[in-house]
Amino acid sequence: MLEKSFGILFYLKKPKKYVKGTMPIYLRITVDGIAKELSIKRECDPLQWNASAQRVKGTREEARSLNSFIQTLEFAVHEARRKLIEGNAPITARALKDVLIGDNERPVYFLDEFNAHNEQMAALVGTEYALGTLNRFRITFEHTKSYIKWKYNCEDVDLKKLNYEFVMDFAFWLKTVRKCAQNTTLKYLSNLRKIVAKCIRLGKLQHDPFANFKMSKRDVERIALTTDEIQRIAEKNFSIARLSQVRDIFLFSCFSGLAYIDIKNLTRSQIAPGIDGELWIFTSRQKTETASHIPLLPQNRQILERYKDHPYCSMENRALPVLSNQKMNSYLKEIADVCSINKNLTFHLARHTFATTVTLSNGVPIETVSRMLGHTNLKTTQIYAKVLDHKISQDMALLKDKLDIK
């Protein structure tokens, strides 16, 4: 793949604690905004250096000889680029530098591979990947880059350096330096593992650094609103119109299970009669691209009716006037205070509430709930079932009645 931009620069690099005298001449190669530099093992007096021409001033034999050497190096860079093109190899500043310094076996660098993966993923956003997935890999890339700088004090590492220690220390770095929780750490390591697996499949890495790595995911209690808390929010009269709007959209999620981004993208045309003639929501989760078909409950029909003439909804063909996720969560904190709810009220809490309080607690089969939530695995939905103590109480009460009859 040809580069989009390519540059060569010869310049004088001032040494540390420099006072006067000659300076070393450096060569900087820049490809697509990424630069690598190396010393050409020659020096020049700053007064004799022509920065714009990137050459030594004068016509004396010493100046002509040095300029000839620089010219030869410039030609060598172009020759190295030609070799990479003929070998169908990626053209990067590092690759050109490796050819110039004469490495017999060009190292394969991990961040180069990671970056190439992310570029391919970016090209497939909207067809094979969601933008959120790409963003998670980009964040993992930045964390990996910072970790390599922290551990090795360099910009990148040869794939050969990836071993069990690399993985264990990365997990340690995420938990201590980045203050990541156990499950968040596992998510970043999972993304890293996909890049490693790709390198193994391509034959660029001969061993699996994750081979003996084990780190279990911790169960996180899924907090949901109770029926009483939902009622308090629904019946509260807010003096600020914006709070009422955020409350309505939050409740829409409580009674549909749709995530923030899916409600934000929900259009009026995605609400249509279903198999029973009643109104349904026909959409797909942006996170997993899984179809979600959800019957519209009466509470949500009322909310949609409230915003049918809203200017934004009419102009943009949106079901609801959704603010940014940051603003929604900020206003939800105010709503929690006003309604005396001692829980961390976030928009995602509404999805948990739909899964537990609204559906599973009222006897909706877990398979049906899983389908409406757009889960790709029933195990994901079963997490919500673990917190339903009062549902267990109800089921056991029914069992007691049956046993008493017998």
Per-residue pLDDT tens digits for 317-332: 999 999 998 999 999 9
Q: What is the pLDDT of residues 31-60, one digit of tens each?
A: 988 999 999 989 999 999 999 999 999 888
Mean pLDDT (10-residue bins), the chain, 406 residues:
83 88 92 90 92 91 90 91 81 85 70 93 85 90 95 89 92 94 92 92 86 76 85 91 93 92 91 91 75 89 92 91 91 92 90 88 85 78 64 72 71
Q: Among positive and negative, which fits the CA dihedral 175, 178, 182, 185?
A: negative
The pairs formed by 90-95 with CB atoms below 8 angstroms and a separation of 24 or more are: 90/1, 90/116, 91/1, 91/2, 91/3, 91/6, 91/31, 92/3, 92/31, 92/32, 92/34, 93/29, 93/30, 93/31, 93/34, 93/35, 93/36, 94/34, 94/36, 94/156
pLDDT value at position 220?
63
At the second CATH level, the architecture of 110-201 is Orthogonal Bundle (1.10)
How many residues are given for the chain? 406
pLDDT of residue 84: 83
Dihedral-angle region of residue 290 (phi above 0 means left; psi in -120 to 50 means alpha; beta otherwise): beta
The per-residue pLDDT for 142 is 96
* Contact by Cβ (8 Å): 44, 56: yes
Tell me which CATH code domain 227-397 carries.
1.10.443.10
Q: What is the pLDDT of residue 70?
A: 93
Name, in order, each residue with C-beta under 8 angstroms of 375's C-beta and a sequence gap of 6 or more.
288, 290, 381
Residue with tokens 């308090």: 232
The mean pLDDT of the chain is 87
Per-residue model confidence (pLDDT) at position 92: 87
Residues of the chain with CATH 1.10.150: 110-201
CATH 1.10.443.10 range(s) for the chain read 227-397
pLDDT of the residue at 59: 85
**Looking at this protein, which amino acid is placed at residue 113?**
E
The model's pTM is 0.56
Pairing assessment for the beta strands 279-284 and 291-295 based on DSSP bridges? antiparallel
Backbone angles phi, psi at 36, to 5 degrees: -130, 140
Amino acid at residue number 26: Y
